[in-house]
A and B are shown apart, each in its own frame.
Chain A
Amino acid sequence: MASSPKTSSPKTSASKTSASTTSAPTSSATTSSASSFRQRPWVRWGAPLLLVAGLAVLPLVMTEGANDTLARIGVFAVAVLGLNVVMGYTGQVSLGQIFFLGLGAYVTAYGVQSGWNIVLVFVLTCLIPAVAGLVVALAAARLGGLAIAMVTIALPIVGVPLAKRLSDFTGGSQGLSARFVEAPEGSGLYDDQWQLYLVLVIGGIVFLMTSLLVRGKYGRAFAIVKGNENVASSMGISPYRYKVLAFTIASLIGGVSGFLYMVVVQYTSPETMSFGHSIELLVAMVIGGAGSIVGSLLGGAFYVIVPDVTNAIDPSLTALLQGALLLAVLFVLPGGLVSLPRALMRRLRRSPAGRGSAAPPTTPSSTPGSGTAAEQSETERQGHA
């Protein structure tokens, strides 16, 4: 309906696209070449294979300390990923994600201490936090807006004293430790290498599945619930159901991160799920990049590396540095660290030097007025109402 064959609209649209390709050579050229590069079969299959091979070798060649740091990054990247599902993708503020990590860790520790089969323990670490999240979400998602945030604040606040009180299951303030991840005999691996492999495999599967989920049918549904609930419901997407679903998935992923936490740290106490840690997870998500898979990885790295660095200098610096970094990112990179390359590209393109060097020398007619031509096509598009 936008353009009829009789009127000149198709012509203008065609000229518009051609104008934009010639007048903005830097943007269209770089993006199209990048996407065609990514679509080549050897890149599509080669790049992931290379990544997997690299990650498979990494634990063998790194020091024990580096293996441990990387494993902890994996643990918290998974926790941040869960938070991203409910908050980054679906737009529902959750301040209680750490509770599900803690719950998963306790379920794992209790199951291991009771001598249950480790596969059963893992299944329970997924199911119990998911059911807990489902029950909370069924009530909280009805309230909407800030009320959800308030309910989720309650989780770690209630969780810590509860963990202290239920000492039969949780070991009270002493906490629980569970050693269940010694490297299998005959594998020739050290424990730290084996632990990192476990984190890489389980975390990798969670990341892969989540990145598939947040595209396609469910990704679009989550995004429109975040964007406009009235439109969502008129498309047959019940905002309530999808908020509950997102929250449940986030809790399940939180539970998995709790299992991985026990793999790496092998000890959990009420302190694990303190409210402060929950806020740190939130900060990590924002700094890494809300609504981004790669951002979740960066968030996990931030969560682990910043305290490691500041503790080496002065432990009291940790909170200060985290706060300062959060402010800096919010002001400079609202999309989080993951948006840094794009922001840099845009900056480069805008600067006259960047544009001049990138303009194709073969089309001299477009070079001198490239900036104004691009602006014109921009205004033309907006004015085309």
Chain B
Amino acid sequence: MAGELTLQDVSLQFGGIKVLQDVSFAVEPNQIFGLVGPNGAGKTSLFNCISGHYRPTAGTVLIDGTEVQGARPATLARHGLARTFQHPALQLHETVLENVLLGAHARLPGGALEWAVRTPRTRRAEKELRAEALDLLERNGLGWAAHLQADELSHGLHKGIELCRALLMKPKLLLLDEPAAGLPHSEVETLIATVRRLRTDDDITVVIVEHHMGLIAALTDRVVVLDHGAKLMEGTAAEAQSDARVIEAYIGKDAADDAA
């Protein structure tokens, strides 16, 4: 069951600096939703407000109709919200498989004492999720790397591992923070196919922050453009790309005039 996300007048302020101002939009279940805007527009801050890492100064965030602003990130994660980070933070001295298994945390039963004596229940669960993690890696073309140490692999592969880690959480709502940043062209194509499969096969609602307009245009049903912390426009990716205000925000007023 895919998640539904609604933001109503979300504002975020650090001291006197207004990072986000009255941002509202709604992401329907099973949509792929884009969040674009120039550097410093507040996209990642908005993600942090949704995932609970920041608490919005004002406004409401609703996931499946429940108000979640101010809830702790760990609580939200256990209720089906997963996210990736701009800079994938992996345990570099662990194997790829161990890194992905971290995503299984909330799905593994048992308390500390049970795990200290390894009851059959914990053994079985660990075995099952290990198989599931391997399968997930395999399906994302990373099966060959499962037993390698993470620091032996490239940045692009780290992004794939991080995505697998998030998917092992079995989320209903997935936030991807710049998934294509630093990827070579061929891998962007693969990424597009992967995200499409998340919608069709896994029934996940996806929100993407991305600069790569090709990826946004190929994937998203709708986009919101942010500039200086405020919503500039909302529509399809094609509408955004031809919108004069968006062009101005990206390349400046004078250049936009020249182009026109």
Contact = CB atoms under 8 A, between A and B. Distances in A.
Interface of A: 1-4, 7, 9-10, 13-14, 17, 209-210, 212-213, 216-218, 220-221, 223-224, 227-228, 230-239, 241, 245, 249, 381-385
Contacts of B10: none
Nearest to B139: A1
Output the residue of B105, B155, B194 with the most chain A CB within 10 A: B105
Interface stretch (B77-85, B229-237, B238-246, B247-255): B77-85
A385 B106 contact: no
B108 interface: yes
Given A381-B152, A384-B156, 18 more contacts: A1-B142, A1-B190, A1-B191, A4-B187, A7-B189, A212-B118, A216-B118, A217-B105, A217-B115, A218-B112, A224-B91, A227-B91, A230-B85, A234-B73, A236-B78, A236-B105, A236-B169, A383-B154
Contacts of B73: 230, 233-234
Output the residue of A10, A231, A384 with the most chain B CB within 10 A: A231
A224 B104 CA distance: 13
Interface in B204-236: none
A234 B82 contact: yes
Contact of A209 (B78, B116, B156, B183): B116
A183 to B, nearest CB: 29
A233 B52 contact: yes
Contacts of A237: 74, 105
Given A1-B163, A1-B190, A212 B116 contact: yes
B182 A385 contact: yes
Output the residue of A3, A217, A245 with the most chain B CB within 10 A: A217
A82 to B, nearest CB: 13
Contact of B101 (A13, A210, A212, A220): A220
Contact of A384 (B122, B154, B163): B154
A238 B72 contact: yes
B53 A233 contact: yes
A213 B140 contact: no
A212 to B, nearest CB: 5
Contacts, number: 137
A385 B155 contact: yes
B131 interface: no
Interface string B67-105: 000001111011000110100010100100010011111
Contacts of A213: 112, 115-116
Interface residues of B, number: 57
Main secondary structure of the interface of A (DSSP, over half): helix
B241 to A, nearest CB: 25
A233 B77 contact: yes
Given A212-B116, A236-B169, A14 B189 contact: no
A249 B165 CA distance: 28
B183 A385 contact: yes
B193 A245 contact: no
Interface of B: 51-53, 72-75, 77-78, 82-83, 85, 89, 91, 94, 98, 101-106, 108, 110, 112, 115-118, 122, 126, 140-142, 144-145, 152-157, 159-160, 163, 165, 169, 182-184, 186-187, 189-191, 193-194
A384 B74 CA distance: 33
A2 B157 contact: yes
B93 to A, nearest CB: 9
The 4 closest A-B pairs by CB, nearest first: A236-B77, A236-B106, A233-B73, A238-B74
Contacts of B189: 4, 7
B74 A233 contact: yes
Contacts of B51: 234
B122 to A, nearest CB: 7
Contacts of B104: 217
Given A216-B122, A236-B78, A238-B74, A221 B105 contact: yes
26 contacts: A1-B141, A1-B187, A1-B191, A2-B160, A2-B187, A4-B190, A4-B193, A9-B190, A216-B115, A217-B105, A217-B115, A217-B126, A221-B105, A227-B91, A233-B72, A233-B74, A234-B51, A234-B77, A235-B165, A236-B74, A236-B77, A236-B78, A237-B74, A237-B105, A238-B75, A385-B155
Contacts of B186: 4, 7, 9
Nearest to A382: B154
A1 B115 contact: no
Nearest to A291: B93
Contact of A227 (B89, B103, B108, B183): B89
A212 B160 contact: no
Given A233-B52, A234-B77, A218 B115 contact: yes
